[in-house]
Amino acid sequence: MLTPQRALRLMIEVIFLLLGVLVVWLALTGRVLVERHKPSWLILSGALILWGLRALYGPNQWWARWENWTRGLSLTLLGVVMLAIYRVPFLWVGPLLTTAGVLMVLRGVLGAALVFRPR
């Protein structure tokens, strides 16, 4: 049986999974128009990188080590991809958005698997 804490973690990972699928779908169909040269895009990518690094190097319990590594690494890589989108030519935006979506899907699947892992 899932405890409320594990159920919340599972729901967060499912949200990441669904958000990743949405981003991949939008990037592949070309229905998204990204305003990537605004300061808000740069601030969001920097915030994701910092949030991911904080999750990697923050204090944590020994049993939650893999969950924290998954969270931190995925957020850091997502921030780096968004930072790359800020600088690349427009033709590369679609593939990089697909990469960002795949990162979120992988985080959701791996995180959900870690929630069900026996302690």
**pLDDT tens, residue by residue, 91-105:** 899 999 999 999 999
Its domain, for residue 102, covers 16-25+34-115
- Could you tell me if residue 1 is inside a domain? no
Establish if 100 belongs to a structural domain: yes
Domain membership of residue 46 (yes or no) is yes
Residue 70 covered by a domain: yes
Can you tell me the mean pLDDT for 36-42? Answer: 92
Number of domains in the chain: 1
Q: Distance (Å, rounded) from C-alpha 24 to C-alpha 29? A: 9
Q: What is the pLDDT of residue 42?
A: 94
Runs of H (alpha helix) within the chain = 4-29, 39-57, 65-87, 93-115
Residue 11 lies in a domain: no
What does the alpha-carbon distance between residue 15 and residue 62 come to, in Å, rounded to a whole number? Answer: 25
Q: Is the pTM of this model over 0.85?
A: yes
In a domain, 10, yes or no: no
Q: Give the pLDDT of residue 63.
A: 63
| Residue 63: inside a domain | yes
Q: Encode pLDDT of 49-97 as tens digits.
A: 999 999 888 777 766 788 888 999 999 999 999 999 999 998 899 999 9
- Kindly state whether residue 7 falls inside one of the protein's structural domains: no
